[in-house]
Structure formats: structure tokens, C-alpha cells
Structure 1
Amino acid sequence: MTDDAPIRPRLVLATTLLPDGEPGLELLREAFAGGDIASVLIDPAGREVAAFQDFCEAVVPLVQEAGAAAIVVEDTRCAGRVKADGFHAPEGTIEALGEAMARFSPRLIVGASGFNTRHEALEAGERMPDYILFGKLGADGEAEPHRRNLDLAEWWASIVELPCILQGGADLATLPLAIATRAEFILLSRAIFGEAEGVGARVAEANRLFDAAAKGEAA
């Protein structure tokens, strides 16, 4: 594959906006009915420890039964208890990433975020996590992806073999900007779950745009 060859990214979802209980689970089911989803980052999103444990116990099996990876964010104990597929360290410190790698790798997928410069990202990459996320969970309120994240993902994808996840914007119309970076995975939350109606259709549209990119077609 040449450096400028088209690629087909895969979709990653974050649960940041999902409510607890059956309403949140139903939205997630609708998302999976809409098309391919590689993994789901299960975000505490301000929940207390016990509430997040309950949330994960409901969400993890749903995600796994759908054939995606269930990745618990921030809470290492919860990740182990609910038999998640992975753990995500959002602190942006080498120490937190190192602790996660020592505790979980290679048994679980381990990823991290919060590294906002090229130097920080490369230093994190030297620890060999399974991926680096450029973006911050819950910080996708603007229509377009954050310019810094776009730049970092494009640079990373051009020189580093370790996969990256790029946080997309709140509007699917801007998804081509994220796709153009050639990041292997694109994280969406508000763009999918921002409205209760049409969740599955928006997942289908994201996959349509990914397919078009892989074929070198205009969106």
C-alpha cells in the first residue's frame, strides 16, 4: 500500500451521552443494528463508582455479543470485574499508561489518550499500547473535529505503525475531514447519540462514508 492509498477506517463509539438502564442499552442496540462498529469506549461520564460498575455490567455483554470490543475507561478495577476486552487510560501520563500495560497487557487491549503533542504521543507509543486516541471523551461538542487532533492523527498515521483513533466531530457532515487523516479508527459520540432518533441510520451513514473513502470515491 502506498502512503497515499485510500484506507477504510472503522467506527469506534463512546458511551458518554448514553443514559443508564434500558434507554441507554436500547440506543446502543440501535447503533449496532446500523452497521459495523469495531469497539465501544465505556465512559464513566461523571458516574459514581457503583453506578459505573452497574452501567458496565449491562453494557459490556451487549457490546461483546454484537462482536465488538468493550473497553472500559478510567476504572481499572471495574475493567477486571466486568471481564471487559480492554482498558483505556485517559490521564495523559506515561505513569498511568505504564501501570495499565503492566496490569492488563497482553491479556486485554490497552489504549490511552491525553497526549497532546508529537513528543508526548511518541513517548506514549514507545510503551507499545494497542492504540493511541487523539481527542478527549466528551469534548466533541463542535461540528468539526478539533484541528490539533486532526493534525496529530494525520502525522501519526503517516509515520507510525501503531494504530490511532481520532475523535470525530459532532456532525457527520464533517466526517470526511477525519477520514482524510488516514487514521485507522474514528471515534464518534455526539454525532451518533446526540439525538435519540436515527441512531442506527447515522451509524449506517458513517459506514457508507468509510466505504466510499476505501474506494476512493467522493462522499
Structure 2
Amino acid sequence: MTRLYLISPERLEHPAIFADDLRAALNGGDVAAFQLRLKDVTDDAIARAADTLRPICQQRDVAFIMNDRPDLAVKLDCDGVHVGQDDMSYAEARRIVGPQRQIGVTCKASRDLAMTAGEAGADYVAFGAFFPSTTKAVTTPASLEIIEWWSELFEIPCVAIGGITVENCRPVIAAGADFLAVAGGVWNHNDGPEAAVRAFNELFSADR
């Protein structure tokens, strides 16, 4: 069954205020993971956000994942790290975070990158973007076929990312995605993050 993987907004001027949105989202139903993905901010700002939000996630058994920075994942006691193709290799990330933490790898729309990451030991691979995104310029549109192919052949979970909303996610679920990575589709939902998470989980249950 598909599960939800939340991604933070790129900027959190006031993590304590966003914490209310995060709690509301988690009140909406099952969430597997939350990734802190802040852009163009200082390490201190990342640390402040992590120290505010990590306990909220970990108290509810939601994995707290750091984007791009294995060093901060260790320092800030995160459950894992997500690395992009431009950040560093899986092997280097694993050397930094050790054997216990999760590592996910961005594979865009590439079967080769996904197989390489899987063979190296990645805990999950991420494909996308599937739809135009408000948070990231889409450089490599992905097709649903890559999820269908991966889920038929490999045990390693795959994450679908890129502009996913309650309204457009059904084909991605049907293709076999293990997780849907969602940012704006939850935080900017008309009825609020709690309603968004509830709606996603209703769709996941209906697809079983």
C-alpha cells in the first residue's frame, strides 16, 4: 500500500509556527516520513528547524529525513538522509551516516541511476518529476512506466515526486509507487494540511 512522504517548504522563517502545520498534517492520518528540505539557508537555520520539528515526527514514529546533508543528518540526530545526483554518491553518504540511518537517492527518470543506487544499498530510490512542481524546476519529466517497471522487478521501495496532489495522484498510486513525496500538495491544500493527508490516505486505502 502506498504511503505519504512529506517534504517541507523550502523556507521556514518561523519553524515554531510551521510546527502547527506539521502536527495538523500528522493528525490527518498515516505519514511514513518527513524530509527537511530547506534551500539557501544557513546551517544554524537548518539546525533550528530540525530541533523544532524532529521531535514532533519521532514521537509519532514518522522518519525524519535530512535533505542533501549527511553530516547534518548525523549531527542533528535525523533518521536518514536524502541525496540528489548532484550532492554526493551513495557510498560517501553511507560512510558519513553509518549503517543505521536510511539513505534515499534521487534517480530522476533514469533506470540506470536507480539500479546503480539499488545495487549500492540505497534504502529507497526516488523518481520524478511526474507533474509540474511549484517548488522545483522540472528538468527531467518522468513517466509512470518507470514506476511500473521498478515495482515489478525490485524489492527496494520507490518514491514518486514532483507536483503530486490529491487531485492528480491516482495514476501514480496505480503504477505501484510505494511512497508519494508531497510538499505543496499538502501545505497549500485549500482545506489545510490535515484534510490533505486524510484525503491522500483515503485514496491509498481505496486502491488496495
The correspondence for 2:159, drawn from 165, 190, 193, is 165
Secondary structure of residue in 1 paired with 2:168: helix
| Partner in structure 2 of residue 13 of structure 1 | 6
- Segment drifting more, 25-34 vs 13-22: 13-22
- Bigger mean CA offset, 66-75 vs 199-208: 66-75
Q: Structure 1 residues 208 and 197 mapped into 2: Cα distance closer, same or farther (>3 Å)?
A: closer
- Sequence identity of aligned pairs in percent? 26
Corresponding residue to 1:104 among 97, 100, 104:
97
Query: What's the TM-score, normalizing by structure 1?
Result: 0.83
Contact 1:166–1:187, Cα closer than 8 Å, also in 2: yes
Match runs of 1:149-188 below 5 Å: 149-167=143-161, 169-188=163-182
Query: Residues 83 and 149 from structure 1, CA distance in 2 versus in 1: closer, same or farther, beyond 3 angstroms?
Result: farther
User: Which secondary structure state, in structure 2, belongs to the residue aligned with residue 171 of structure 1?
Assistant: coil
The 5 A counterparts of 1:49-88 are 49-88=43-82
Partner of 2:201: 207
Residue by residue, what CA displacement relative to the aligned partner does 1:33-60 show, whole Å, maximum 9, x if unpaired? Answer: 1000001111122222221111111111
Distance 1:202 1:160 in 2: 30
Q: What's the counterpart of residue 129 of structure 1?
A: 122
C-alpha distance in 1, partners of 2:133/2:59? 27
Contact 1:15 1:189 in 2 (8 A): yes
Structure 2: gaps of 5 or more residues? none
Q: 1:45 to 1:16 in 2, by over 3 A?
A: farther
Structure 1 distance, partners of 2:11, 2:59, is 19
Cα distance, 1:150–1:141 mapped onto 2, change above 3 Å: farther
C-alpha spacing 1:148/1:128, structure 2 compared with 1 (3 Å)? same
| Equivalent of 1:28 in 6, 22, 32 | 22
Rounded Cα–Cα distance in structure 2 between residues aligned with 1:92 and 1:187: 19
Q: How far does residue 170 in structure 1 lie from its aligned partner after superposition?
A: 4.2
Gaps of 5+ in 1: 1-7, 215-219
Aligned alpha-carbon RMSD (Å): 2.3
SS of the aligned residue for 1:158 comes to: helix
Separation (CA, whole Å) in 2 of partners of 1:161 and 1:111: 14
Mark the CA change 1:212 to 1:110 in structure 2 (over 3 Å): closer, same or farther.
same
- Partners of 1:81 and 1:44 in 2: CA distance: 16
- For 1:181 and 1:128, the matched residues in 2 are separated by 23
TM-score normalised by L of structure 2: 0.88
Inter-partner Cα distance in structure 1 for 2:167 and 2:142:
19
Q: For the residues of structure 1 that align with 2:169 and 2:189, how far apart are their CA atoms?
A: 17
Of 14-23 and 78-87, deviating more is 14-23
Indicate if the aligned counterparts of 2:10 and 2:38 stay in contact, CA closer than 8 A: no
Structure 1 segments (4+ residues) deviating >3 Å: none
Equivalent pairs counted in the alignment come to 202
